[in-house]
């Protein structure tokens, strides 16, 4: 199997390259000219907003599976830069799908990576959320990802393209940007332990409940969907059990080497926050046999170890 990972310089890209390569896949990756890819494989420079550059790359690589990871993936940043978020997540995806539609190789499977945030303002008692639950996005990022998924379904039906849609819930692990909550807590703790900041950790909303999965489990799900997923189908990818951010904070603090005060920072509060998001993951389990295996405690401990070694 040959894979092309579009947007491989991000957090998930390196883990996905490692996962696919470990199972004998021939992996190619793309990144922007000013980016680097952390794992060794053939790398091609590509900006998905330059539509004319995508088809020649597909015709050169001739992949069996395309993983579309290129995205503006921060909810917080989407509030600050909604236009950029829409351009990358919607227009960029259309550019990729159009290139795939006209590519010389016509049996390419495409994995479109969406988000559990798409469910948004959910009905009371709707959790765990099945893939048939109506989408009601509560932030700009989620709205663009919902649009991406709907466009993917349209292309799959209208052009008989092999497209699998994913709604990935929160995932974390070593080397993730500290704009995301687990990495943020762990980085602050590492900085405090090294005497780089006062022993106070700044936090936002601790009551929101989210489903967290280790990135190493997530890329295993992506590999299995590339191998066994059903074309035209949407899959939730997550642990299937939400916890509140307070639990994540308490877990991170339990690994700290000194006492740390917790202080709420108004600047870390989102303009809109959904109280609970939790997926039903029975569909991916039934079709691929996948389930999350790495505990959240292990994810937090490994992420803290990463920041202790990289501050």
What domains can you pick out in the chain, each with its CATH number? Answer: 2-172+212-241+279-288 (3.40.50.720), 181-208+242-276+296-310 (3.90.25.10)
Burial 217-249 (b: 16+ CB within 10 A, else e): bbbbbbbbbbeebeebbbbbbbbbebbbbebbb
Q: How many C-alpha atoms does 259 have within 13 Å on its Cβ side? A: 1
pLDDT of residue 118: 94
The pLDDT tens digits for 211-232 are 999 999 999 999 999 999 999 9
Residue 271 banded pLDDT, cuts 50, 70, 90: low
Average pLDDT of the segment spanning 82-92:
98
Tell the residue number behind the tokens 């909303």, with chain if given.
Answer: 205
pLDDT of residue 304: 98
Contacts of 255 (CB under 8 A, 6+ apart): 189, 300, 301, 304
pLDDT of residue 37: 96
Tell the residue number behind the tokens 């016509």, with chain if given.
Answer: 106
Residue 42 banded pLDDT, cuts 50, 70, 90: very high
The pLDDT tens digits for 111-131 are 999 999 899 889 889 999 999
Do the strands 261-264 and 200-203 form a parallel or antiparallel pair, or are they unpaired? parallel
First-to-last C-alpha distance (Å) of the chain: 38
CB 4 within 8 A of CB 61: yes
Three-state DSSP at 43 gives: strand
CB 262 within 8 A of CB 198: no
pTM score, whole prediction: 0.94
pLDDT of residue 169: 95
Residue 23 banded pLDDT, cuts 50, 70, 90: very high
Ranges of H-type helices in the chain: 11-22, 54-61, 75-80, 82-86, 92-101, 140-159, 181-193, 215-228, 245-254, 282-288, 296-310
Tokens representing 159 are 């052009």
């Amino acid at each position: 199997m040959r894979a092309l990972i579009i947007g491989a310089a991000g957090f998930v890209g390196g883990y996905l390259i490692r996962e696919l390569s470990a199972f004998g896949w021939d992996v190619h990756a793309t990144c922007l000219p000013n980016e680097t890819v952390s794992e060794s494989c053939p790398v091609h420079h590509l900006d998905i907003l330059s539509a004319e550059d995508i088809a020649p790359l597909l015709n050169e690589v001739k992949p069996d599976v395309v993983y579309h990871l290129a995205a503006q993936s921060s909810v917080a940043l989407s509030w600050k830069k909604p236009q950029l978020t829409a351009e990358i997540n919607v227009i960029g995806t259309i550019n990729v799908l159009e290139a795939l539609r006209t590519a010389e190789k016509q049996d390419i499977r495409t994995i479109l990576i969406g988000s559990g945030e798409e469910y948004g303002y959910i009905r009371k008692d709707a959790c765990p959320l099945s893939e048939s639950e109506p989408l009601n996005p509560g932030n700009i990022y989620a709205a663009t990802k919902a649009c991406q998924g709907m466009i993917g379904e349209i292309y799959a039906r209208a052009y008989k393209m092999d497209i699998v849609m994913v709604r990935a819930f929160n995932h974390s692990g070593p080397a993730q940007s500290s704009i995301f909550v687990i990495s943020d807590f762990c980085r602050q703790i590492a900085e405090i332990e090294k005497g780089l900041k006062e022993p106070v950790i700044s936090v936002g909303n601790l009551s929101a409940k989210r489903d967290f999965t280790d990135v190493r489990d997530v890329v295993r799900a992506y590999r299995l969907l590339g191998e066994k997923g059903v074309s035209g189908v949407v899959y939730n990818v997550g642990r299937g059990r939400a916890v509140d951010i307070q639990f994540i904070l308490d877990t991170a603090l339990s690994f700290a080497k000194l006492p740390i005060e917790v202080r709420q920072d108004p600047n870390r509060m989102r303009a809109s926050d959904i109280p609970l998001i939790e997926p039903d993951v029975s569909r991916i389990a039934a079709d691929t046999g996948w389930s999350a295996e790495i505990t959240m405690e292990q994810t937090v401990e490994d992420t803290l170890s990463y920041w202790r070694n990289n501050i």
